[in-house]
Amino acid sequence: MRRVLTGLLVMTIAFSMMACGGSGSTGDSGSSSEVSAITPGEQGNTAETAGSGDPVTFSFCQAQPEYQTAAQNLINAYMKEHSNVTIELITDISNLKTELQAGNIPEIFYTEGYTVMEAYSDYLTDLSDQPWADMIIDFSLDAVSIDGKIMGMPTTIAGEGICYNKKMFAEHGWEVPATKTELITLCGQIQAEGITPFVNQFADDWLLGQLMSGAAYAHIPETQQFTDNLYAGTVTFAGNEQMKGLFDTLDLLRKYGTPDPMSYSWNEACTSFATGETAMLFEGDWIWSTIQPIDPEIEVGMFPIPTSDNAEENKLLADTNMVLHIGKGSKHPEAAIEFMDWMTTSAEAKEILLKEYQFVPCFEGWEYEGDNQLAACTREYLEQGKTYKWWWNKWPDNYRPTAGQEMQKYISGDLTAEEALMAMDDDWKNMTTQ
């Protein structure tokens, strides 16, 4: 699902877009070793809490653009009930690690969990004893756990695949493909109508990294074992058949996609898709808040990337996408914890989380209630057990955009597929041996 925090409690910082869900990133580059070597400051004053009546101000970092309005509404609702509390919404965390190292630690910030979360482990508060911890569904537990401890609150399960214009498909009688051959046939049918099948968002390296995860990496047999071996240095991307197949998918998207694909980033791609210039877009359910205002009557669906002619192998990508953390060493952690607990106990908070955040929930007993048509697709695939977890959040911190940059070089003709895979191997080695 995107990007200093100087003077955290007094500044409102302008937004800069990050990747999501898939779509988000927690900041600047660097391996986990960069952070683990830093010793956080002393725990701040915890006497001032929301319930004490004493004035307290703390920060909530939420850079993902699709969630910022909902986050502000959540904050406003809490402050209305707690007149002594002021919560500052921070919308840019591009230099989070730098600010953490400088001791400017926000009370609440987010990561995508897994290894991304582990890169910030020295700055995370153990939340295992919080009342909502037992509510987390099994699907999301591994995303927020380090050594068996709950180090963050999962807030959303996001899905990613090929988004398509349902009205356009219905008007032309096009069928949703279940296999790679069916996708190729469909693209030919779309082109025959004078419509461009895909808008290719290849200017965004993070998205290409996620495409790599969905179109190749998630299909590797015994994926966890392969990942362990990759960290151990006993296997390579260049020697893996599924990774070689990634470039077949790239070639297909290029063949049936927009000309000059490197000119399309998030806004351009979403606009092209929402206005009907193109029929399909590889993205995630987080694009809903961007495309729906462009065409309030739009009808969209999402299906898995069909990389195989075995329909059973083609599953939607889905995973826990945004994890909220309490900053260890922040000034008012207890007040922030009270706010986080309120999020799971207040009826008003629950309504905002379910209907405005538009996420598939991570808590037992919570049902999706939003109007995000793409998130509804994610929920259906989850309920049917037809999903792969994406793997980029198990890679070294910042490897996703780095791999995407090597793919961009292939798209631009600067690297062959073999050279790109070898470059990905070199990047991985450099990030894991520092």
CATH of the domain at 68: 3.40.190.10
Tell me if residue 172 falls in helix, strand or coil: helix
Boundaries of domain holding 125: 32-158+319-383
> Does 394 reside within a domain?
no
Tell me if residue 287 falls in helix, strand or coil: helix
Rounded mean pLDDT of 185-196?
97
Judgement on whether residues 261 and 368 belong to the same structural domain of the protein: no
Per-residue pLDDT, 321: 84
* The total number of residues written for the chain in this structure: 434
237-to-77, 185, 310, 389 alpha-carbon distances in Å? 48, 30, 23, 19
Q: Which of 43, 8, 9, 11 is nearest to 331 (CA)?
A: 43
Rounded mean pLDDT of 30-50?
37
Judgement on whether residues 308 and 222 belong to the same structural domain of the protein: yes
Domain count, the chain: 2
Please identify, among 366, 383, 400, the residue that sits at the C-terminal boundary of a domain.
383
Judgement on whether residues 244 and 328 belong to the same structural domain of the protein: no
Question: Phi and psi dihedrals of 171, rounded to 5?
Answer: -60, -35
Output the furthest CA–CA distance in the chain (Å, rounded).
68
419-to-69, 172, 238 alpha-carbon distances in Å? 43, 41, 8
Q: What percent of the chain has pLDDT over 70?
A: 88
Taking the C-alpha atoms of residue 250 and residue 201, their distance in angstroms, rounded to an integer, is: 12
In this structure, the dihedral spanned by the alpha carbons of residues 201, 318, 275 and 187, taken in order and rounded to 10 degrees, is 70
Please identify, among 293, 318, 343, the residue that sits at the C-terminal boundary of a domain.
318
35-to-98, 122, 206, 262 alpha-carbon distances in Å? 9, 7, 22, 33
Per-residue pLDDT, 52: 58
In b/e form, how buried is each residue of 313-349, taking b as 16+ CB within 10 angstroms? ebbbbbbbbbbbbbbbbbbbbbbbbbbbbbbbebeeb
Rounded mean pLDDT of 377-406?
93
Joined tokens for residue 359: 């996420």
Q: Answer yes or no: is pLDDT of 368 > 90.
A: no
Looking at every residue in the chain, the average pLDDT score rounds to 86
Q: Which of 112, 113, 210 is nearest to 162 (CA)?
A: 210
Q: How far is CA 317 from the centre of its chain?
A: 11
Taking the C-alpha atoms of residue 34 and residue 185, their distance in angstroms, rounded to an integer, is: 48
> Does 433 reside within a domain?
no
Helix axes 333-345, 68-81, angle to 10 degrees: 100
Judgement on whether residues 104 and 240 belong to the same structural domain of the protein: no
Helix axes 205-215, 241-255, angle to 10 degrees: 120
Judgement on whether residues 146 and 74 belong to the same structural domain of the protein: yes
The counts of H helices and E strands in the chain are 17, 11
Judgement on whether residues 120 and 171 belong to the same structural domain of the protein: no
Judgement on whether residues 106 and 234 belong to the same structural domain of the protein: no
> Does 414 reside within a domain?
no
The pTM of the full predicted model, rounded to 2 decimals, is 0.83
Per-residue pLDDT, 67: 77
Q: Answer yes or no: is pLDDT of 87 > 50.
A: yes
Please identify, among 286, 318, 350, the residue that sits at the C-terminal boundary of a domain.
318
Rounded mean pLDDT of 209-218?
94
Per-residue pLDDT, 358: 77
Rounded mean pLDDT of 135-149?
95
Judgement on whether residues 125 and 175 belong to the same structural domain of the protein: no
Q: Half-sphere exposure of 165 toward its Cβ, with a 13 Å CA cutoff?
A: 28
Taking the C-alpha atoms of residue 124 and residue 330, their distance in angstroms, rounded to an integer, is: 10
Judgement on whether residues 255 and 294 belong to the same structural domain of the protein: yes
Judgement on whether residues 313 and 347 belong to the same structural domain of the protein: no
Q: Are 117 and 111 in contact (CB under 8 A)?
A: yes
In this structure, the dihedral spanned by the alpha carbons of residues 391, 396, 402 and 406, taken in order and rounded to 10 degrees, is -70
Judgement on whether residues 189 and 154 belong to the same structural domain of the protein: no
Q: Answer yes or no: is pLDDT of 26 > 50.
A: no
Rounded mean pLDDT of 380-388?
93
* Residues contacting residue 181 through CB under 8 Å, at least 6 positions apart: 309
Rounded mean pLDDT of 359-384?
91
Q: Answer yes or no: is pLDDT of 3 > 70.
A: no
> Does 9 reside within a domain?
no
